[in-house]
Amino acid sequence: MSETAQQPVFSIEKLYVKDLSLEVPNAPQVYLERETPQINVQLRTEGNAVDEGIYEVNLTVTVTAKLPEEKTVFLVEVAQAGIFQIRNVPQEDLEPIMMIGCANILFPYAREAVSDAVSRAGFQPVVLAPVNFEALFQQNRQQAEAQAGTDVPIQ
Q: What is the pLDDT of residues 82-108, one digit of tens each?
A: 999 999 999 999 999 999 999 999 999
Spatial separation of the C-alpha atoms in residues 16 and 113, rounded to whole Å: 11
State which H helix or E strand residue 41 sits in: strand 38-51
pLDDT tens digit sequence for 4-53: 568 999 999 999 999 999 999 999 999 999 999 999 999 999 999 999 99
Which CATH architecture is the domain 7-148 placed in?
Roll (3.10)
Query: If we measure between CA atoms, which residue out of 80, 82, 75 comes closest to residue 21?
Result: 75
pLDDT tens digit sequence for 5-14: 689 999 999 9
Query: If we measure between CA atoms, which residue out of 92, 74, 77 comes closest to residue 26?
Result: 74
Q: Collapsing DSSP states into helix, strand and coil, what is residue 99?
A: helix
